[in-house]
Structure 1
Amino acid sequence: MNPVRGIALKVTAIALFSIMAALIKATADTVPAGQAVFFRSFFALWVILAWLAMRGDLSSGLKANNKMGHVWRGVIGTTSMALNFAALGLLPLPEVTAIGYAAPLLTVVFAAMFLGEEVRAFRLTAVGIGLIGVVIVLWPRLTIFDESPEAALATVGVLLVLGSAVFRALAQIHIRQLVQTDETSAIVFYFSLTATCLSLLTLPFGWVVPTLSQALMLIAAGLIGGFAQIMLTSCYRFAPASVVAPFDYASMLFALVIGYVWFDEVPTGAMLAGASIVIAAGIMIIWRERQLGLKRGKARPNVTPQG
């Protein structure tokens, strides 16, 4: 284990994902979300393939034990990605990031609903607090009496991000099941492959010929996304999930800086306050998971890695 290296990889991955989102946002005015998903997935696919080849993991990375599981994970994850990309064209980057923090909160709820995981009062309270934070972020956008086109589009953007968070949480539940039968490398590879194929289904719905600058940004988004996925996967080789998980929230710092410098987006007080509450709730859940993990470890001191 090398926790410092694990944390460095996680923070770098989060920074790269933030840059990727900014590149998608920069093209969102003219490039449809489905087309953006294609570029993000297709060019990431080659980076992942090269990574698997360098590690000598092509055989495990291409082996799918649960074929339909990968298909459903791809459908759910691609839907989340497309909704998020569409929202980036309607809302500021920090706001999309803040509302997206609902995903790990919903994962706790869905784990109890679909996987039968025990969720006690502490985590339920943290989830409730976090969801209040999400409501604070999105409340100014739910303008019932403002009938302007801008307000209507912002409301649509909020709904898209919330939908993306729901599907991302469902994807996490599905991944928890997939890791029981398939290697992580296979899950990463087949998600990119499935997302590439599914995105082509949106071709009849208005793909455009991007300008040179747009094409370069979209290709860069795919390549950067691929490298970010590799770093995210690799960080868990050097540090426990409970150690690196809190650094997910570094994405807010990157989103604030990128949004201000690139898109002239100034965060509102409500957005910052709500995001702070959501982040605090998320860290509470991570802390609780770590405490429970330590207790389980003490209760099973003689258990081998093979079980």
Structure 2
Amino acid sequence: MPISNTTNQALFLLIIANLLASFSDVSLKVLNGEVPTFQYVFIRQLLSVLLLLPFWLKLPTARRMQGGCRINFLRAQFILMGSGCAMIAITHLTLATANAMFYVGPILMLPLSVVLLKEKPNSTKIIATLIGFIGVLIVLRPEQFHWAAIAGLGSALAMGVGNILIKRLPDDQHIIATLFWTGLMTLPLALALALPQWADIEWRHVGWIMAINLFVLGYHALVVMAYKKAPANQIALAEYSGLVFVTLFGVMWFDEIPDLLTLLGIGLIVIPIMPIQWRKWLPAKQRQTVKE
């Protein structure tokens, strides 16, 4: 079945979205930990709220209040912690390794669903999860282990939980209201965590943080547009283009050349969770055997 023009447009939008997300990671890498972690998070979220405020004010009154709910508040706190952990991981790890950790989120969700939701995953999901964990062990092998990898895993877990909570939000909730309230609800805790280590920073730091904000907001906007144009199972594979981008940028701009074992580990993390119908890749006779 040929891919429609609408699906191609959605794929293009999703790839551009992940390119923007990769530029966000590069900008964070350039900051190089010069801004204390939660001071960075607070400034970033404050700038995000200020950027969104004019658009939020243009919404009808009823729409403005969407997102100011308990579920979104809980989600905001996970995003806060995930953002802090992501900064630590990107600062101290290579871009490729840090992003490989971020992709562990879907893998971590399976054991959590068993423990917290009493779900019973099928054997395919269990095998895929085990392969993913083997990939994590290869990427984080003892001789190259860095404590920041724990932060990367923490970011993956926090973002994964945050994404699950999206499903608990009303379907008709406006994206601007969601983003505005999420940012606003992170500010109190972010400020409380930032104050003990608050430091003087330069305007160039603020500039990079603003760039990160614009890249992230652009990413979210394009992702929403992409998934409205085509079903998720037809385009979700393009989400993994981000890992390719950050690996290339790490080589080009930071001299971060991954070794073969790291590439193997990244492959074992990513491939099992890719939304590919693997049987289409098999010859007809093999597909029939699989079906039987």
Q: Shared fold (TM-score greater than 0.5)?
A: yes
> RMSD between aligned alpha carbons?
2.7
Residue 159 of structure 2 corresponds to 168
Q: In the alignment, is the contact (CA less than 8 A) between 1:62 and 1:189 conserved in 2?
A: no
Question: What is the number of residues matched between the two proteins?
Answer: 275
Q: In the alignment, is the contact (CA less than 8 A) between 1:110 and 1:169 conserved in 2?
A: no
Q: In the alignment, is the contact (CA less than 8 A) between 2:64 and 2:177 conserved in 1?
A: yes
Residues 1:18 and 2:22 aligned together: yes
Q: In the alignment, is the contact (CA less than 8 A) between 2:78 and 2:159 conserved in 1?
A: yes
Tell me which amino acid in the other structure corresponds to 1:40.
Answer: R
Cα 1:116/1:93, change in 2 over 3 Å: same
Residue 40 of structure 2 corresponds to 36
Q: In the alignment, is the contact (CA less than 8 A) between 2:33 and 2:88 conserved in 1?
A: no
Shift of 1:118: 5.0
Shift of 1:60: 2.6
Q: In the alignment, is the contact (CA less than 8 A) between 1:18 and 1:254 conserved in 2?
A: yes
Counterpart Cα distance in 2 of 1:58 and 1:138: 49
Shift of 1:115: 4.5
Cα 1:4/1:189, change in 2 over 3 Å: farther
Residue 66 of structure 2 corresponds to 63
Cα 1:71/1:169, change in 2 over 3 Å: same
Q: In the alignment, is the contact (CA less than 8 A) between 2:79 and 2:158 conserved in 1?
A: yes
Shift of 1:206: 1.7
Query: So what's the TM-score if we normalise by structure 2?
Result: 0.83
Shift of 1:16: 0.8
Q: In the alignment, is the contact (CA less than 8 A) between 1:32 and 1:86 conserved in 2?
A: no
Tell me which amino acid in the other structure corresponds to 2:239.
Answer: D
Q: In the alignment, is the contact (CA less than 8 A) between 2:32 and 2:91 conserved in 1?
A: yes
Q: In the alignment, is the contact (CA less than 8 A) between 1:129 and 1:278 conserved in 2?
A: yes
Residue 207 of structure 1 corresponds to 198
Shift of 1:82: 0.6
Tell me which amino acid in the other structure corresponds to 2:16.
Answer: T
Tell me which amino acid in the other structure corresponds to 1:234.
Answer: M
Residues 1:7 and 2:11 aligned together: yes
2:83 to 71, 81, 84: 81
Cα 1:237/1:8, change in 2 over 3 Å: same
Q: Note the alpha carbon deviations across 1:79-134, whole angstroms, 9 max, x for none.
A: 11111111211111111001211102223443454455552111121111112111
Structure 1 spans left out of the alignment, 5+ residues:
144-150, 292-307
Q: In the alignment, is the contact (CA less than 8 A) between 2:39 and 2:195 conserved in 1?
A: no
Residue 232 of structure 2 corresponds to 241
Shift of 1:180: 6.2
Shift of 1:30: 1.4
Residue 129 of structure 2 corresponds to 127
2:252 to 242, 246, 261: 261
Shift of 1:57: 7.0
Shift of 1:36: 1.9
- Percent of pairs identical after alignment? 22
Residue 146 of structure 1 corresponds to none
Counterpart Cα distance in 1 of 2:33 and 2:263: 26
Counterpart Cα distance in 2 of 1:30 and 1:245: 35
Residue 94 of structure 2 corresponds to 92
Counterpart Cα distance in 2 of 1:12 and 1:52: 25
Cα 1:25/1:207, change in 2 over 3 Å: farther
